């Protein structure tokens, strides 16, 4: 089948920044795209061939959109899986599959999947409702501190809370959830695995994530991770094991903890391009977005090596600012060597909202990290 300058249609569920960056690649290859998103202001709107406004969790909306395309993919997990399942039965190719997505969508199901496949992960308890946790604490079945995670619809630090006392449970939604053991870890790592339809598989180098202490959002993604070769090898092997267990097509971002004893535990996965792979646009031979396309269209996978060291800084809305966005000092950072800002196209800023990212590339990782710090302290996402 010809995908290039042809009648082929690729459908993308979700019109956010990941979709927008994916569309850079479809435009490079002249692949015709249709996008569905709930917002008229979606970043993807300007870059796709056909844009549809609709609810991603509505069965009929997703089903009818899927019938218009030849291959369907998604840039966000919160979509109607039943519709995807029906579309697959009717011959529409959906990558990653509805089966993969169904398992990943629910954090409790995802954790049980790791247990079933002997994939190392933090110990956890599953609860139908948050209100059941107090009983578990009072009868000794659960000890502080632990991490509360909503089973569904969490993202970017939403739906996750460290619980140290009973009071910390007070404002949490009474929903299906897991309570996970707190892991004393040295590093948070991630590996992106790509797999095409015929089963070819490649991994990107291990990246390390530095987190913002309060917002629970990644501040820096550092590639390559500053870890021993043996630890990196272990992380890649475990990521491949997870990928094989899911038998997914497309990208799978595997987030992991490196414990004090250098064990690797899987935290969670995302079946799509991911925040931990943004530096690949400038730093790698093949960006994660191009690789996702190659994988879901069963094309040869690209070279995943890095050309240079890369660091990614998230651009999030500054505290105390709401309204029309203004990128303060953007010219200053653009005057620095190896610095590339990516602006997602969201017109309204609010505190901690992801508005863009900046990539810093350099032959020398330590140098790149210094520049990244300067970039972070210089550019501010404020409002007019």
Any idea which residue has 């399942």 for tokens? 85
Residues 146/165, Cβ–Cβ less than 8 Å: no
What is the side-by-side strand order in the sheet with 71-74? 50-53, 32-37, 9-13, 71-74, 93-94
Residues 254/274, Cβ–Cβ less than 8 Å: no
Q: Which segments are annotated as binding site?
A: 107, 149, 180-183, 188, 267-268
For 39, phi and psi rounded to 5 degrees? -110, 135
Six token digits for residue 27? 């435009």
| Separation CA 133–CA 74 (nearest Å) | 34
Six token digits for residue 366? 């330590």
| Separation CA 34–CA 211 (nearest Å) | 35
| Separation CA 265–CA 267 (nearest Å) | 6
List the one residue out of 75, 113, 110 whose CA is nearest residue 95: 75
Terminal CA-CA length for the chain: 49
Q: What residues pair up with 350 in beta bridges, in sequence order?
A: none
Residues 24/47, Cβ–Cβ less than 8 Å: yes
Residues 303/9, Cβ–Cβ less than 8 Å: no
Residues 1/29, Cβ–Cβ less than 8 Å: no
Q: Alpha-carbon dihedral of residues 325, 328, 330, 333, nearest 10 degrees?
A: -140
Asked if the peptide bond before residue 161 counts as cis, ω within 30 degrees of 0, the response is no
Q: Which segments are annotated as binding site for ATP?
A: 107, 149, 180-183, 188, 267-268
Going from the C-alpha of 316 to that of each of 195, 271, 284, 312, 342, the distances in angstroms are 31, 23, 24, 13, 12
């Amino acid at each position: 089948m010809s995908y290039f300058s042809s009648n082929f249609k690729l459908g993308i569920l979700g019109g956010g920044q990941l979709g927008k960056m994916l569309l850079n690649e479809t435009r490079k290859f002249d692949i015709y795209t249709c996008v569905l998103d709930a917002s008229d202001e979606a970043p993807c709107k300007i870059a796709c061939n056909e844009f549809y406004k609709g609810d991603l969790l509505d069965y009929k909306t997703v089903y009818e959109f899927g019938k218009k395309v030849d291959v369907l993919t998604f840039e966000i997990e919160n979509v109607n899986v039943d519709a995807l399942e029906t579309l697959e039965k009717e011959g529409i190719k959906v990558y990653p599959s509805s089966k993969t997505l169904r398992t990943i969508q629910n954090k409790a199901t995802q954790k049980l999947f790791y247990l079933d496949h002997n994939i190392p992960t933090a110990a956890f308890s599953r609860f139908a409702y948050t209100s059941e946790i107090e009983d578990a604490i009072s009868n000794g079945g659960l000890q502080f501190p632990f991490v509360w995670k909503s089973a569904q619809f969490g993202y970017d630090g939403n739906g996750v809370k460290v619980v140290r006392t009973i009071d910390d449970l007070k404002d949490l939604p009474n929903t299906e959830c897991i309570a996970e053991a707190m892991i004393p870890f040295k590093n948070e790592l991630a590996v992106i695995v790509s797999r095409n339809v015929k089963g070819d598989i490649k991994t990107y180098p291990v990246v390390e994530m530095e987190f913002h202490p309060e917002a629970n959002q990644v501040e820096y993604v550092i590639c390559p991770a500053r870890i021993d070769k043996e630890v990196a090898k272990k992380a890649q092997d475990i990521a491949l094991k997870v990928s094989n267990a899911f038998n997914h097509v497309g990208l799978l971002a595997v987030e992991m903890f490196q414990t004090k004893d250098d064990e690797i535990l899987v935290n969670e996965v995302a079946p799509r391009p991911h925040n931990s792979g943004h530096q690949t646009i400038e730093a790698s031979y093949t960006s994660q977005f191009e690789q996702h396309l190659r994988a879901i269209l069963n094309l040869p996978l690209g070279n995943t090596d890095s050309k240079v060291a890369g660091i990614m800084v998230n651009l999030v809305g500054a505290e105390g600012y709401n309204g029309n966005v203004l990128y303060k000092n953007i010219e200053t950072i653009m005057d620095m060597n190896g610095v590339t800002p990516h602006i997602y196209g969201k017109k309204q800023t609010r505190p901690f909202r992801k508005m863009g990212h900046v990539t810093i590339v350099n032959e020398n990782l330590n140098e790149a990290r210094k520049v990244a710090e300067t970039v972070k302290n210089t550019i501010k996402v404020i409002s007019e």
